[in-house]
């Protein structure tokens, strides 16, 4: 069944990767002129292990075997697959794309296993360049490239065995890199272990912590939830697993870099984060993907479980290839993200910066089950070119005194379409539920569309809901003011837009906030003038 990818060189790099500086310069210049400003448009040429195209029981068994999964996991996948066969792709979103041939996709791709190079010098330079572009520190690069295991000392270590002083953790980020579908390695494992935090690829967790996975997997997003989530349940290849034990404040931000790399491989991530009673964890997810022609499907599922008094903060920066100026290529992103505030006083916060993907279908939601629980959703969605975004959230108030807050900022430019779709509902027993929603849209240019579709459902008299939405353009006065002071129009627009989204940017962890601001600028390039 399994097929090795022929020769890496046979992959035609659509990217601008080259060693000749002169050529590079020319290409850079061309790229600046083009609308097509995709900064992370490169393709890493490393050997991959690819399953044949198509989705059937054999493929699911193959994935399960490759992952050395126990029987219960395989059964779970097959049950999902049975269900999936009876389902139809949803069509209610304001998205227009040709039907997807789900049998024309590779459902499994893994980098060939690392035999452990002695130092970074021996690592495939292509991979290193990828890391460099992603801004991954050397020390982490070592681990990611398999030079050393996470618990081995590094030549870049500062040789201090003493745990860092309180507060000095703030700048640290543990990375679980999902290189295409397989988590290549995990960093900072040791430190997390000390705190008792489990942070590992979900494929490992299935083997090492089956009791936790069995208890929580599918408990927030059941296998029959929706078309894409069900498909994910059947074929997910990897993802992150986080368990924060009772009363533990996770000592660092957990982070995953997602990259879709192999041509025509769907990326089916499954992430499960459990914050046990009184714990806290902040998780960052950042995505970049190589530039390419064929549409790629991404159908991830993220499940968050917050038990009593626990808090989960989940931040995403999504910057996959949006397609070229004619709408060719680009990632199809159909994601199911849901958090369950299961215990009293629990709290889940979603923050997302969506600048990439040709199609975005994504509604990070909170089920506010526990009394006094709180859900938050902060979103920036930038669409340009031919991008289509249909994104929003659901806040389902079930418990008493639950509260939620939604701040959504949509920016559409070019020929794009940007829809906010959100639901806020209070069930009969959700007394004193509170919601505040603000969704603002900014339009740049005459060819784009901005839409707002909120569903507000109150079944409890003591529930208090407030919803506000506005749509407008960039103020001429502000633009004039900036330009009059010598700021070029494009920069002025980026500046004003960054002011428009400030409320959301502030919610991002430091590491992301800076990148996100740059991303928004890049995404809007070519949208004015």
Partner 1 sequence: MSVVTELKTRTPAETQLLQLAEARGENENARRPAIEALRRDGLPTRKVEAWHYTDLRALVGRRIKDDAAVASLKAGDDAILEPLLANSVVICLDDPVSAHLPDGVMATSSSSVADWQASPNHLDRSIDTIRALSAAFGASSAKIAVSSKTSVDTPIELRPAAGSDSHFYAQVSVGEGASATFVERLEGDGSPAPSTGVSTLTIADRANVLWIVDQEKGAEASHLGQLNVTIGADAVFRLFVLNAGGGLVRYEVHAETVGEGADVQIRGANLLKDGQHVDVTTTLNHRVPNTTATETFRNVVTGGHGVFQGMIKVAKGAQKTDAKMACNSLLLSDEGDFSAKPELEIFADDVQCGHGATAGEIDADHLFYLMSRGIPEATARALLVKAFLGEVVEELEDEAIVEALEARIDTWLDTHA
The footprint of partner 1 (CB under 8 A) covers: 92, 428, 441, 443-473
Q: Residue 421 and residue 343: Cα distance in Å, rounded?
A: 27
Least distance from partner 1 to the Cβ atom of residue 167, Å: 42
SS3 sequence of 183-197: EEEECCHHHHHHHCC
Closer Cβ to partner 1, 222 or 454, answer by number: 454
Closer Cβ to partner 1, 224 or 460, answer by number: 460
- Cα 156–159–165 angle (5° rounding)? 110
Closer Cβ to partner 1, 311 or 440, answer by number: 440
Closer Cβ to partner 1, 146 or 445, answer by number: 445
**Residue 349 forms beta bridges with which residues?**
313, 376
Tokens for 248, please give them.
């533990």
Closer Cβ to partner 1, 210 or 454, answer by number: 454
Least distance from partner 1 to the Cβ atom of residue 318, Å: 24
Contacting residues for 429 by C-beta, under 8 A, at least 6 apart: 398, 399, 400, 460
> Could you tell me whether strands 182-186 and 173-179 are parallel, antiparallel, or unpaired per DSSP bridges?
antiparallel
H-state helical runs in 120-221: 125-134, 138-145, 189-195, 202-208, 210-216
Least distance from partner 1 to the Cβ atom of residue 327, Å: 17
Closer Cβ to partner 1, 71 or 86, answer by number: 86
User: Other CB atoms closer than 10 Å to residue 191's CB: what's the count?
Assistant: 19
Closer Cβ to partner 1, 221 or 448, answer by number: 448
> Could you tell me whether strands 347-354 and 109-111 are parallel, antiparallel, or unpaired per DSSP bridges?
unpaired
Least distance from partner 1 to the Cβ atom of residue 429, Å: 9
Least distance from partner 1 to the Cβ atom of residue 431, Å: 8
Closer Cβ to partner 1, 265 or 388, answer by number: 388
Contacting residues for 486 by C-beta, under 8 A, at least 6 apart: none
Least distance from partner 1 to the Cβ atom of residue 93, Å: 11
Tokens for 220, please give them.
């927030």
Strand, coil or helix: 33: helix
Tokens for 203, please give them.
């494929």
Least distance from partner 1 to the Cβ atom of residue 411, Å: 11
Q: CA nearest 317: which of 394, 255, 250? A: 255
Q: Which residue has the tokens 């009293």?
A: 344
Least distance from partner 1 to the Cβ atom of residue 417, Å: 9
């Amino acid at each position: 069944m399994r097929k090795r990818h022929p020769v890496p060189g046979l992959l035609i790099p659509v990217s601008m990767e080259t060693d000749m500086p002169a050529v590079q310069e020319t290409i850079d210049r061309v790229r600046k002129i083009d609308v097509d400003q995709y900064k992370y448009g490169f393709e890493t040429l490393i050997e991959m292990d690819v399953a044949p195209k198509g989705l059937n029981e054999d493929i699911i068994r193959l994935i399960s075997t490759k992952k050395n999964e126990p029987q219960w996991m395989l059964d779970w996948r097959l049950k999902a697959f049975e269900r999936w066969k009876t389902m139809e792709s949803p069509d209610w979103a304001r998205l227009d794309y040709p039907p997807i041939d789900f049998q024309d996709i590779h459902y499994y791709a893994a980098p060939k296993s690392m035999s452990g190079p002695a130092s970074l010098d021996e690592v495939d330079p292509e991979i290193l360049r990828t890391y460099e572009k992603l801004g991954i520190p050397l020390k982490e690069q070592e681990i990611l490239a398999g030079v050393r295991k996470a618990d081995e000392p590094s030549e870049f270590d500062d040789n201090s065995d003493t745990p860092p002083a309180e507060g000095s953790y703030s700048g640290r980020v543990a990375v679980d890199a999902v290189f295409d579908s397989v988590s290549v390695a995990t960093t900072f494992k040791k430190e997390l272990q000390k705190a008792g935090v489990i942070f590992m690829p979900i494929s490992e967790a299935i083997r090492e912590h089956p009791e936790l996975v069995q208890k929580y997997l599918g408990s927030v997003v059941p296998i029959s939830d929706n078309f894409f989530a069900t498909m994910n349940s059947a074929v997910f290849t990897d993802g992150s697993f986080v368990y924060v034990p009772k009363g533990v404040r996770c000592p660092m931000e957990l982070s995953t870099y997602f990259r879709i790399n192999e041509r025509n491989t769907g990326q089916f991530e499954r992430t499960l984060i459990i914050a046990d009673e009184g714990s806290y964890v902040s998780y960052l997810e950042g995505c970049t993907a190589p530039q390419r022609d064929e549409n790629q499907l991404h159908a991830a599922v993220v499940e968050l479980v917050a038990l009593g008094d626990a808090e989960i903060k989940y931040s995403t920066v999504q910057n996959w290839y949006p397609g070229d100026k004619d709408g060719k290529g680009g990632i199809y992103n159909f994601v199911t993200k849901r958090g369950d505030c299961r215990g009293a006083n629990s709290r889940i916060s979603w923050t997302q910066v969506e600048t990439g993907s040709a199609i975005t279908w994504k509604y990070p939601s909170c089920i506010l089950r526990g009394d006094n629980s709180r859900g938050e959703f902060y979103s920036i969605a930038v669409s340009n070119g031919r991008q289509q975004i249909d994104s929003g959230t659901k806040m389902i108030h079930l418990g008493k005194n639950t509260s939620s807050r939604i701040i959504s900022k949509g920016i559409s430019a070019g020929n794009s379409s940007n829809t906010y779709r959100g639901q806020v509902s209070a069930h009969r027993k959700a007394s004193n539920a509170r919601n505040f929603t603000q969704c603002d849209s900014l339009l740049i240019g005459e060819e784009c569309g901005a839409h707002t579709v909120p569903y507000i459902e109150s079944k409890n008299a003591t529930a208090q809901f407030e919803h506000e939405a506005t749509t407008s353009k960039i103020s001429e006065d502000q633009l004039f003011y900036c330009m009059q002071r010598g700021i070029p129009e494009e920069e002025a627009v980026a500046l004003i837009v960054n002011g428009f989204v400030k409320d959301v940017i502030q919610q991002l962890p430091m590491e992301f906030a800076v990148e996100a601001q740059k991303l928004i600028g890049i995404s809007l390039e070519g949208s004015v003038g």
